[in-house]
Amino acid sequence: MNPSRPLRRSRHDRVIAGVVGGLADYFGLDPTLARVIYVLVSIFSAAFPGILVYALLWILIPEED
């Protein structure tokens, strides 16, 4: 995690809106690994509505310059 750098949606590591790519960049993870983790947590956790959280993050996190 890089606290001096703000969280932004990725323009280069994007599949849909760049949310998971931006999170991966912020936390220093491989984007593919971050996507796999996000999908697995979304599938196996009834308390984690993955699509709704993704849509909310898409709205809240600004796109990188």
**pLDDT tens column, 14-64:** 888 889 999 998 888 999 999 999 889 888 887 678 888 889 999 998 888
Provide CB contacts within 8 A for 55, sequence distance 6+.
none
pTM over 0.85: no
Helix, strand, coil % over all residues of the chain, rounded to 5: 50, 5, 45
Q: Cβ atoms within 10 A of the Cβ of 58, count?
A: 14
Closest to 26 (Cα-Cα) out of 58, 54, 2, 61: 2
pLDDT of residue 42: 86
**Residue 33 has what pLDDT?**
94
For residues 10 and 65, the answer to whether their CB atoms sit within 8 Å is: no
